[in-house]
Amino acid sequence: MHFHYLPRAEGPVLGIETSCDETAAAVLDSAGKVLAEAVLSQLAEHAPHGGVVPEIAARAHLHHLPELVKRVMGEAGLRFGDLAGVAATSGPGLIGGLIVGSSFAKGIALAQKKPFVAINHLEAHALSPRLPGLFPEEVPFPYLLMLLSGGHCQCVAVLGVGNYRRLGGTLDDAVGEAFDKVAKLLGLPWPGGPYLERLAASGDPFAFPLPRPLLGRPGCDFSFSGLKTAVAQLVASKPPGPLARSFAADVAASFQQAVAEVLADRAAHAMAAFRAYSPGACNLVMAGGVAANQTIRAAVAEQTKALGFGFFVPPPSLCTDNAVMVAWAGVERLRLGLSDGLDFSPRPRWPLEALSTSAESLPAP
Ligand code: KG4
Ligand code: ZN
């Protein structure tokens, strides 16, 4: 990556998110105040296919992004010339959408002679709790991040902007993916996470003794495919056809309970690993779409309390994909004088540690 060292950016930043199935744009002032934001979910386009279709996503981003950017700039009362920089998610994600968003941002940057900031989507999630006003005080570095989304599931030591150390991650499915697959087995619409949570509310979380993969094992890795298979077998034991609602609710609640217990256990291991090389560090942040789940929030919150950690979860609208977190990562980077060349190529794969400047010097967890 090219780093351009610029004078400290003053002025608003436009953020663009197009890495998956949300087309989003937001404008923040240099202090991080949200001046305008918009998210357009492509649910209707993808739902008939039961998942995100990359080609449909790319075309939908191309179709909606110009209007969305115009809208947020209008709401913020700004012209492109007023911006201090333009930030766009440039990886990891679906390449078509990444090309649409980053090219659009580069076009504005080039025309207005403003810095372009290539944002790593995972870094945007990672830095989101630092958005001013979310919590009484800014969450200071370093902190432990549990990133729980449809595409990603990992524990990360957040040491500073651009400075991350991966402590562990999923060995198979991402946790959101497991929610979506189980929801599908139960006949719920896609994406299933929120529907499953609603159904689970009327079920018994201890109705079925589902497995708790990796519970109690050392390390901070996750595994969800065995749990998903156990649910598939449970559902297959019923006669074909629609499931009885009370059975589906009990399965949903039992699955959610198993995931919550596993995540709380993994959080405990991650806190111990994090403390081992960051003594004194004592905050845990949860982010990503699954962090919106109340049972999971409560289970991890209890564990942080038991281990003396502070617990921070952004509100659900900032947990699921959005452009506020992208613009905020842009503000954080521009403050440090970091921007990218217009020759930056979007990266479908872009691990957080590739951003690190000093992670090599840390001992292995
Ligand atoms: O972070 P996100 O919006 O997109 C990705 O980067 O993947 O996360 C989406 C994932 C989906 O799998 C969705 O089912 C899950 O988050 N999700 C939930 C809930 N809300 C969203 N899972 C469980 N409970 C929820 N309330
Ligand atoms: Zn995401």
Note whether 87 and 205 are same-domain residues.
no
> How would you write the chain as a 3-class SS string?
CCCCCCCCCCCCEEEEECCCCEEEEEEECCCCCEEEEEEEECHHHHHHHCCCCHHHHHHHHHHHHHHHHHHHHHHHCCCHHHCCEEEEEEECCCHHHHHHHHHHHHHHHHHHCCCEEEEEHHHHHHHHHHCCCCCCCCCCCCEEEEEECCCCEEEEEEEECCEEEEEEEECCCCHHHHHHHHHHHCCCCCCCHHHHHHHHCCCCCCCCCCCCCCCCCCCCCECCHHHHHHHHHHHHCCCCCCCCHHHHHHHHHHHHHHHHHHHHHHHHHHHHHHHHHCCCCCEEEEECHHHHCHHHHHHHHHHHHHCCCEEECCCHHHHCCCCHHHHHHHHHHHHCCCCECCCCCCCCCCCHHHHCCCHHHCCCC
Domain identity same for 64 and 101 = yes
Amino acid 3: pLDDT: 52
pLDDT score at 359: 35
Q: Residue 68: is its pLDDT beyond 50?
A: yes
pLDDT for the residue 356: 62
Ligand index nearest the alpha carbon of residue 124: 2
pLDDT tens-place string over residues 3-40: 554 555 689 999 999 999 899 999 999 999 999 999 99
Mean pLDDT of the chain: 93
Are 103 and 187 within one domain?
Answer: no
Q: Are residues 93 and 170 in the same domain?
A: no
Per-residue pLDDT at 342: 97
Choice from 179, 285, 324 to test ligand 1 binding pocket (greatest atom count within 8 A of CB)? 179
CA of 290 to the centre of ligand 1 (A): 4
pLDDT-derived band at 179 (thresholds 50, 70, 90) equals very high
Name residues contacting ligand 1 (CB within 6 A): 20, 149-151, 176, 179-180, 191-194, 197, 288-290, 292-293, 320-321
Q: Pick the atom of ligand 1 nearest to 121's CA.
A: 6
Same domain, 168 and 226: yes
Same domain for 234 and 336?
A: no
Give residue 363's pLDDT band: very low, low, confident or very high (50, 70, 90).
very low
Give the pLDDT score at 8: 54
Residue 313 scores a pLDDT above 50: yes
Any domain includes 137: no
- pLDDT, tens digit, 9 for 90 and up, residues 280-306: 899 999 999 999 999 999 999 999 999
Which residues have CB atoms below 5 A from the ion given as ligand 2? 149, 321
Query: Which atom of ligand 1 lies closest to the CA of 288?
Result: 1
Domain count, the chain: 2
The answer on 186 and 91 residing in a single domain is no
Give pLDDT, residue 362.
Answer: 41
pLDDT at 45 over 70: yes
Q: Are residues 236 and 354 in the same domain?
A: no
The residue-averaged pLDDT of 216-229 equals 95
The reply to whether 295 and 148 lie within a common domain is yes
In percent, the amount of the chain with pLDDT more than 90 equals 86
Ligand 1, residue 321: give the atom nearest the CA.
Answer: 3
Residue at 260 is within a domain: yes
The residue from 313, 330, 349 where one domain ends is: 313
Per-residue pLDDT at 360: 39
What value does the mean pLDDT take over residues 218-233?
Answer: 96
Q: What is the pLDDT of residue 6?
A: 52
Range of the domain at 307: 143-313
Chain centre to alpha carbon of residue 180: 16
Residue 138 lies in a domain: no
pLDDT higher than 50, residue 314:
yes
- List the CATH number of the domain containing 87: 3.30.420.40
Tell which atom from ligand 1 comes closest to the C-alpha of 320.
Answer: 3
Share of the chain above pLDDT 70, in %: 95
pLDDT at 71 over 90: yes
CA of residue 106 to ligand 1 center, whole Å: 29
**If you average pLDDT over residues 246-269, what whole number do you get?**
98
Q: Among all ligands shown, which has an atom nearest to the Cα of 41?
A: 1
pLDDT, tens digit, 9 for 90 and up, residues 76-96:
999 999 999 999 999 999 999
235 in the same domain as 191: yes
How many angstroms separate the alpha carbon of residue 359 from the centre of ligand 1?
29
- What pLDDT is stored for residue 193 in this prediction? 96
Looking at the fold, whether 240 and 147 belong to one and the same domain comes out as: yes
Centre of ligand 2 to C-alpha 125, Å, is: 7
